[in-house]
Chains A and B, each alone.
Chain A
Amino acid sequence: MDARTRRRYFVNSLMLGLTGVCTLLTVSILFMILGYLVWNGGKALDWAFFTKLPKPPGEVGGGMANAIVGSAKLILLASAIGIPIGFLAGVYLSEFGGRTFPYIVRYVCDLLNGVPSIVIGIFAWTLIVVPMKHFSGWAGGAALSLMLIPIATRSTEQFLRSVPLSMREGSLALGASKWRTVASVVVPASMTGVLTGMILGVARIAGETAPLLFTCLGNQFWSDGFNTPTASLPVMIYTHAISPYDDWHRQAWAAGLVLLVLVLVSNIAARLIMSRGTAPGS
């Protein structure tokens, strides 16, 4: 074997080895994140976290019960607005669309999906906080729903499209009208996929912080209804993490663990259902 060939073989194994190292590095980051968060969050998590209100700075103890309820409220509101709009718009794109208009809608949807979340926050602020003259749960929920709509639309469209054409034709051949076909054949056939898509969308907005910073602000106490500033887990993590108090840092870890578990569990569940469900992914 001459020197040149040896060098080529050496470069071959070196570079291929390096790509392996790249993979190892990037994947291990996930485990480092998980591990460190579980370690710190686990130490910090106690029953009070789920049942008590936050204590003023400097005092030890307390929890984030209001932020857990607040996040649940915001997510519910965002889902109540975002899922129906996204679902119906997705049905339009997949079933009723012509040529040009759906193309525009699809494009704008992707555009909206790519808008930085902080800009969505500004928009919700101009649209809701300014006319109402105060921060509110409404504004926070609306901001989150704006992030959910494009995700819900595109995933609904994608899963409806994966229903085979022959099923539609079968229904139409039996004399069903178009909307009847959509309502009783296409949508039920792709229900698993559509639902998992929605779960992924909701999991994504559950962790969003930036759109909430100046829409529903935050709150150290319970908030009645949707008309007052509302606490949420992501914003709590932010404010507690950048604060100088040790006990607040502890709470931030606990909240981080709870949020990460929620998001990852729903993601893994959705992906498992999707890989196993009747409707193929794409």
Chain B
Amino acid sequence: MRYLLRRIGFYLIALWASVTMNFIIPRLMPGDPAEAMIAKMQGQQTVTAYQLQALRVELGVNTTDPLPVQYWDYLNNLAHGNLGLSSVNFPHTVVSVIGEHLPWTIGLMAVAVTLSFIVGTLVGIVTAWRRGGVLDSTLPPVLTFISAIPYFWMALALVYTLGFLLNWFPISDGYDIYNTSPGFNLPFLLSVLRYGCLPVITIMLGSLAGWVLPMRNTMVTTLSEDYVLMAQAKGLSERRVMISYAARNAVLPSVTSFSMSLALIVGGSLLTETVFNYPGIGLTLFSAVEGHDYGLIQGCFLVIAVTVLVANFLSDLLYTALDPRVRQGRS
């Protein structure tokens, strides 16, 4: 219990740190967001000092207030769920824009992370079982190479080959924007599935190595344990020894990593989404960066940071439940 309280305290500090960083970063940089926005549209119209000030107020960088007052206002707004207006999606608020795009990312990543965990773990088990075989000697180097490829570049390559050359999958967007309307209807849901295939495949390919290699290594260690030898000596079927005796024990570290990788569920597909034009948080962040929409950038970062913290906390809870040593206060 004491351990959990300490962890909660730590996550509160981390939350405070990310919120504060969100406040400080724009103010540390030379110039301010309002000036940057004006600089972007230079020459198109003249801007009076009054207009500049109005823009500053709207963006929440009202520099006439002393810093502590600004900080207090910022925290106060945040506590009331008020993140300001999004200048790219004017006149929508940052909160409503994020709320609209968040389900897309969560859906995409939940499927991709779960699938790559299951496939990667199974491949890892088989690779270790046939240690020294063809699979074991070719797969690790190949996977190492694949995991060294930038995510977004692999996405580009897949879009080009599978989408553009072979025309197997749609190239862009999250659903058929011309023939279906978002809602709970079959054509829309089917098109979501079809449009999600390529992004899911990309993310799976990119993260597969992270599941296969650790699983293989733990499995190899487990296979040399006496009880595995005993099970084989008893004449149990190969499959039973592999799955119920060896893999069952070797999978524990992977389960922990799985709970950790839930942290990626919002922030892990930023670049993949931009390539596929997938309407999630990544694309929102990208459009915010392009349009210098500082409120939206901060909002996206906040959502990503909070999910990471929550996922870490959940994995701590799981760890406490699984490992008695942690419960006894040895952190």
A joins B in a complex: no
List the interface of chain B (C-beta within 8 A of A). none
List the interface of chain A (C-beta within 8 A of B). none
